[in-house]
Structure 1
Amino acid sequence: MKNLLALILIFSALNLSAQETFPIYSDYLSDNVYLVHPAAAGIGNCGKIRFTYRQQWMGVEDAPSLQTLSFHTRVTEKMALGGIVFNDENGYHSQQGFLATYAYHINFGHEAALNQLSFGLSFMFSQNSVNQNDFVIPDPIVAPGVESTGYYNVDFGLGYHFLDAFGYFTIKNLLLTPRDLANNRFESDNLRRYLLTLGYYLGRGMKFQLEPSIMFQFIEYTGETFADLNLKVYRNIGDKSQLWAALSYRQNFDSNIESFKMITPIIGINYKRFMFSYTYSSQIGDIVLENSGHHQLTLGFNVFCKKPRATGCPNLNSVY
């Protein structure tokens, strides 16, 4: 059983590495849009520090896990910088790296009528490793040892905010250097992924505020298409804290690929400049690969805060 699990983990990881560089989950809803859209660097009235810890298959040894630490802030009125370090582990496969972002924001409006166009460019370096030393059964194809390779990647994105509406478009893996991992079996450099996010903030000044949004993903190499349908609800508690909850539903729309459906509830709290959230993701539908779900914690702290704008979604305007 242990050997079977090891093979599942390693080949799942290798197949994912052929389709992914930096994984895309639903954690962008935890006030962390910068994880998927480089144009969101420095987008708000505060600089943001965010740490995430994600664990899949609770109770299973060597189960997939991901940790990220990000920071982004404006350095001038229009220019912003950001960075992410990450550690992604999946059985005998691991991926560590960092990402640096330059963003530029142009506001065509004024304080009472936000009309802002944003550009973002990210450069990433990642080191992929496969540890074959611990294989219990020798593999005639995969030789013992640790195979490791590094590669570079560039992402480009646009963002637009008008009053309480927002949108992002990002091309991930735009310029990806060829990779040589696991005996040249996965070295395609076409891992381009296109992301489009649209959303609107409702109920300003009311007891509850709503933020519906949708995110589309298209993977060029495989032709896969995904959509996230999201809804966030905010409730201010006193003058120093805010409770919020989100629900995300992800589904693919490819008739030639097995149906994939996932539901993700998130609950969080903002207290002064601190934030905390818990995320649980679970597959649903007729075909379910695992039942234990994915758990994630996000911790955040806002720095260098300025006066909030008169309009804009909460991701743009930190309340405290």
Structure 2
Amino acid sequence: MKKIFYITAILLFGVFEVSAQQESQYTQYMYNTMTFNPGYTGSRGVLSAMGLYRTQWVGLDGAPKTMNFSIQSPLNDSNALGLNVASDQIGPTKNTNFMVNYAYTIQGGGDLKVSFGISGGFANFEVDYTKLKMENPDIYMTGVQTMFSPNIGAGIYVHSYNWYAGISAPSLLKTDHYKDGDVASIYSTKSHFYGIAGYVFDLNPYLKFKPAVLTKFVSGAPLAVDVSANFLINDKFTIGGAYRWDAAVSGLAGFQVTNGLQIGYAYDFETTKLGKYNSGSHEFFLRFDLVKGAKTRLVTPRFF
């Protein structure tokens, strides 16, 4: 079982075409929305930077490891720019994405805002075949091979002070990562579509409750659904849980260190048979908002 990802890599890159969930997976998606929806760009109303690290299925050789960094800022009341860099490493493969985001926001009635976002950039895909032990390797499966591919994305993000919803497709272009005239099959990435929504209930002056949901769809794979429920205590402490449909249950915790600095942690316990062979997944994030003073209030709650 500990060689499962090396075996999978051989299948992915040399045997048949695969259609599955291929983009990065996050448990704390409510804090990392710009990664998969460019419409979120600038919605916090201040310069905001975030770093996230995720190590999945600890104990399995070659299990996924994800690093993500994003920075965003409004330029004025209507325009915003952002940058997102994400790196996924699975077994002998590494995929690094660089995307520049732009969002245009329309002010609705009251505090309602509708943001339209687009993104553009590229991915660098790398396979290190020296990490694989193959008895009869294909002549093309030698050394370290890389592939550069451009991509574009789009998204709509609607939000007010205490709720949000959005739809997006962060990678619209299909990319063939492995293709040769003598090989009848390929490994390719396909467009992923996301839907997200959340609401903040003010239970009392010291306690807020936010349920949220994220859905992911890609042709050829089952619909993926993540639901979460978190409590914010005294605008400082966050605690809650999440469930990934037919995949995992999670515990989440966070702390608002200062008015502009937030840290968070999530632990996933696998509910599939694979859970017998790993000790879970860990995810950490650090977010910094450039606020001007201790009394500055962000445009949206710190909960998203």
Match of 2:157 in 1: 159
Question: How many residues in Structure 1 have an aligned counterpart in Structure 2?
Answer: 295
Query: 2:54 is aligned with what amino acid?
Result: R
Unpaired stretches in structure 2, ≥5 consecutive residues: none
Q: Does 1:280 align with 2:267?
A: yes
| 1:106–1:300 distance in 2 versus 1, CA, 3 Å | same
User: What percentage of aligned pairs have identical amino acids?
Assistant: 20
TM-score, scaled to structure 2:
0.85
Give 1:12 deviation, angstroms.
7.1
How far apart, CA to CA, are the structure 2 residues paired with 1:201 and 1:12? Answer: 44
Match of 1:314 in 2: 302
Deviations 1:256-287 (Å, cap 9, x if unpaired)? xxxx3211211110122111111111221566
Give 1:294 deviation, angstroms.
0.9
Q: Does 1:246 align with 2:245?
A: no
Give 1:147 deviation, angstroms.
2.0
Describe the SS at the equivalent of 1:279.
strand
1:82-231 paired onto structure 2 within 5 Å: 82-109=82-109, 113-141=110-138, 143-174=141-172, 176-181=173-178, 183=180, 185-188=185-188, 191-203=190-202, 206-219=205-218, 221-231=219-229
Query: 1:134 is aligned with what amino acid?
Result: K
How far apart, CA to CA, are the structure 1 residues paired with 2:5 and 2:193? Answer: 32
Unpaired stretches in structure 1, ≥5 consecutive residues: 252-259
Query: 1:207 is aligned with what amino acid?
Result: Y
Match of 1:10 in 2: 9
How far apart, CA to CA, are the structure 1 residues paired with 2:270 and 2:11? Answer: 17
1:269-308 paired onto structure 2 within 5 Å: 269-272=255-258, 273-285=260-272, 288=275, 290-304=277-291, 307-308=296-297
How far apart, CA to CA, are the structure 2 residues paired with 1:65 and 1:12? Answer: 20
How far apart, CA to CA, are the structure 1 residues paired with 2:6 and 2:253? Answer: 35
Describe the SS at the equivalent of 2:154.
strand
TM-score, scaled to structure 1:
0.81
Answer with 15-24 or 135-144: which moved more. 15-24
Q: Does 1:267 align with 2:253?
A: yes
Give 1:48 deviation, angstroms.
1.4
RMSD value, Cα: 2.8
How far apart, CA to CA, are the structure 2 residues paired with 1:96 and 1:54? Answer: 15
Describe the SS at the equivalent of 1:99.
strand
Give 1:124 deviation, angstroms.
2.9
How far apart, CA to CA, are the structure 1 residues paired with 2:261 and 2:160? Answer: 27
| 1:224–1:18 distance in 2 versus 1, CA, 3 Å | closer
| 1:101–1:140 distance in 2 versus 1, CA, 3 Å | same
